Amino acid sequence: MALFRSLVFRAVPQSHSAAALSRGTLRLPSARCLSSAKEIPGPKALPIAGVLFSVLSDKDFDKNNIHLYFKKLFKIYGPIVKLKFPGKPTMVILSDPEDMKWIHHYTKDNPVRLGLEALHKARYLDEYFEKKGGITVEDGEEWWRVRKRVGPPVMKLANIRQYVPGMDGVAVDTLDRRLGSLDPNFTQDAEQMKCYTAALELLRCIFECEENLMWKIYPTKTFKTLQKSLKTLTEVCDRTLWEFKEEMKERNKRDPNHSPSLMEQLLLDSELSHKDIVTFMIDLLPGGTETTTSASLVLFYLLAKYPEIQAKAQEEVDRVLGRDLTPITPEQLNQLSYIRATLKESLRLLPPAIGTVRVLQNDIRIRGYTLQKGWCCLMTSAISGLDESQFAQSQDFVPDRWLQHRPLGQMHPYASLPFSHGKRMCIGIRISEQILSILIARTLQQFNLAWRGGDLRRKHTQVFEPVGPFPLTFTERN
């Protein structure tokens, strides 16, 4: 996207040192940026209604494609735009990776975000959770109390690599059944299916509650369904964790010197309660179902649409894994660098969300504008990730750009952030990347992919969701 950079100039934040300027790591501001009275540009805002009428009357506004409307605003007003909606904090949307970098920098010690209010309320209404909502919905001290304990073991790659055999087994089983149910004997009453269905329902209801706020006035049908799904997941995860504790005791008796698994490390942490871990397990489930499914479909689509990329990925898979289905080892997975590059590129081109949100806890200065405490900043990496000034051949699927030698040049580290950044980045990033890498490797090992239709369509709710039909075919390789 071509941005009108000549209209808005960069200001150096007051905290930046002269040494940084001398190193050339920061750009000098224009004199026109020095006034703190500058008004952030954006659509005209009316008293009470804010920009609501301006937005709804715009022929290009489509809530299912809100990113395209934001892109239009950036073209009109520049890389920072102010929006005020009724009943909501003032929102500032940003498209320049350098500005996103400073927002992340200023909020790094206490990263606060909006959203998931319905889930927060449902947990507070449920006596099981004892007014503790977990890292997905909490902010401040309560969020950090849990996040600092679960983060290190879950983000440690060596811990996630322990689960390669299990993830590989699931991928092989799935493909053997042509992407059907993992177990043909499962019924709707089976605990696995109840858990899967509840996770999908929970995610759907969270998104619907974010769109329709009537649940704040009275318990709507959607909110009640959210509560029911949460109850199901709580019962399953609570029972599973108690069973795991018993298994852990037996395992420790047999082999007291064995390396503890990820779950064992969490259970051994005296600062985490049983219910803290159950809540964390529930938070991981929706991300491990719907969002991972959407990301895998996007990658299947792109590989099918670009057969030359697919062939190159298959060459790597054949070289590392061969053509038989012997279990993948962590060492082999580490060698699949091109597979990881295809994943990174798919997340840049068709990311799972518009971007990252931060609520400012202090006034800050960017580009000569004052952004006030309490304002909400949306950093639109879904737009910066397609900016030609940031990525050469930005509209094309070019995994090679992520290889170590960077054949298309260096990229701004904040231009594509599909999993956010810093302390509040997606805690399931390692798990998601590993699952997707294994699934794609196993698929390309056995099948050639083809897409028999037009471009993949997606709609935006709280995240991007692929819209069917999906004319994707799997043909067994010779």
Q: What is the DSSP string of 198-215?
A: HHHHHHHHHHHHHH-GGG
Question: Which among 266, 288, 324, 312 is positioned nearest to 198, based on CA atoms?
Answer: 288
**Which domain CATH number covers 160?**
1.10.630.10
Predicted local distance difference test score (pLDDT) of residue 424? 93
Predicted local distance difference test score (pLDDT) of residue 38? 76
82's tokens: 């102010």
Average pLDDT over every residue of 425-438? 93
DSSP state of 99: H
pLDDT digits (tens, 9 = 90+) for 189-226: 667 788 888 999 999 999 999 888 899 999 999 999 99
Nearest-angstrom CA–CA distance, 154 and 188: 31
163's tokens: 């689960």
pLDDT digits (tens, 9 = 90+) for 308-350: 999 999 999 999 999 989 999 999 999 999 999 999 999 999 9
Indicate if the pLDDT at residue 471 is higher than 60: yes
Predicted local distance difference test score (pLDDT) of residue 185? 56
Predicted local distance difference test score (pLDDT) of residue 6? 30
Indicate if the pLDDT at residue 18 is higher than 70: no
Confidence of residue 172 (pLDDT cuts 50, 70, 90): confident
Residue 77 lies in a domain: no
Is residue 224 classed as helix, strand or coil in its secondary structure? Answer: helix
Residue 301 lies in a domain: yes
pLDDT digits (tens, 9 = 90+) for 261-289: 999 999 999 999 999 999 999 998 876 77
Beta strands 364-366; 369-371: pairing state:
antiparallel
Give residue 182's domain range.
Answer: 117-476
Confidence of residue 87 (pLDDT cuts 50, 70, 90): confident
Indicate if the pLDDT at residue 386 is higher than 90: yes
Sign of the Cα torsion 322, 326, 331, 336 reads positive
443's tokens: 């698929």
Domains held by the chain: number: 1
478, 207 Cβ separation under 8 angstroms:
no
Q: Give backbone dihedrals phi and psi of 364, rounded to 5 degrees, phi first.
A: -135, 165
Predicted local distance difference test score (pLDDT) of residue 176? 62
Beta bridge partners of 369: 366
Q: Which residues contact 364 (CB under 8 A, 6 or more apart)?
A: 13, 102, 103, 106, 370, 371
Residue 76 lies in a domain: no
pLDDT digits (tens, 9 = 90+) for 290-318: 788 899 999 999 999 999 999 999 999 99
214's tokens: 């009537």
Question: Which among 286, 251, 289 is positioned nearest to 267, based on CA atoms?
Answer: 251
Indicate if the pLDDT at residue 2 is higher than 50: no
339, 441 Cβ separation under 8 angstroms:
yes
Residue 109 lies in a domain: no
Residue 459 lies in a domain: yes
Q: Which residues contact 455 (CB under 8 A, 6 or more apart)?
A: none
Count other C-beta atoms under 10 Å from residue 79's C-beta. 25
Q: Which residue has the higher pLDDT, 157 or 15?
A: 157
Residue 182 lies in a domain: yes
Average pLDDT over every residue of 153-158? 93
Residue 173 lies in a domain: yes
Question: Which among 225, 206, 199 is positioned nearest to 120, based on CA atoms?
Answer: 206
22's tokens: 């001398």
Q: Is 345 left (phi over 0), alpha (psi -120 to 50) or beta?
A: alpha
Residue 93 lies in a domain: no
